[in-house]
């Protein structure tokens, strides 16, 4: 039986102040490094055979801490990078509805299909991540850890569970 363990990166400096990251980089906070360490301890007891990681800095930092317990060769894959939030990248969450009121209303109206300015929507994330998940399912490894992000993690999980959009 195949076991996939999805790990969201630890808290970042930007998470702590509510700044939208998307595919931009922000370092782990002290709390985020603690999160990664706890995940590493847990994963070390689960017989992890392969470690796949988003190439963004926060996931690399998380995976480095986790991998101190696993000692695997991480595989970095851009298909599991976080939601590309386009022009909203680097903005404070509270400022987005003020700076882009019509666009924010579009997101609030249809979170699944709405695409922010120069960004992507959920169907875009499904398109890029489903081939990755299918490849994981086809590998010989039984216990796989995937270090990625909140939104793309939900996309991969919902695909595996067969959830409708």
Active site residue 102: no
Look up residue 108 and give its two tokens.
């609030």
Q: Given 82, 84, 103, 149, which residue is catalytic?
A: 82
Residue 9 is a catalytic residue: yes
Of 65, 56, 64, 46, nearest to 145 by C-alpha is 46
3-state secondary structure at position 161: helix
d(CA 147, CA 52): 6
- What is the C-alpha separation between 43 and 98, in angstroms, rounded? 42
List of residues 6+ apart from 102 with CB closer than 8 A:
none
Q: Give me the catalytic one of 9, 35, 84, 149.
A: 9
**Residues catalogued as catalytic:** 9, 82
């Amino acid at each position: 039986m195949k076991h996939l363990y999805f790990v969201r990166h630890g808290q970042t400096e930007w998470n702590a102040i509510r700044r939208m990251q998307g595919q931009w980089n922000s370092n782990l906070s002290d709390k985020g490094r603690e999160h990664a360490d706890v995940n590493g301890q847990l994963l070390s007891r689960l017989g992890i055979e392969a470690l796949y990681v988003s190439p963004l800095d926060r996931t690399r930092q998380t995976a480095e801490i986790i991998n101190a317990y696993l000692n695997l060769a991480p595989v970095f894959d851009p298909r599991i990078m976080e939601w590309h939030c386009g022009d909203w990248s680097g903005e404070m969450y509270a400022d987005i509805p003020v700076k882009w009121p019509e666009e924010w209303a579009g997101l609030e109206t249809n979170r699944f299909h709405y695409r922010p300015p120069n960004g992507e929507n959920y169907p875009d994330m499904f398109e890029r991540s489903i081939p990755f998940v299918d490849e994981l399912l086809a590998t010989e490894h039984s216990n796989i850890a995937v270090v990625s992000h909140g939104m793309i993690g939900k996309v991969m999980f919902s695909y595996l569970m067969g959830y409708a959009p």
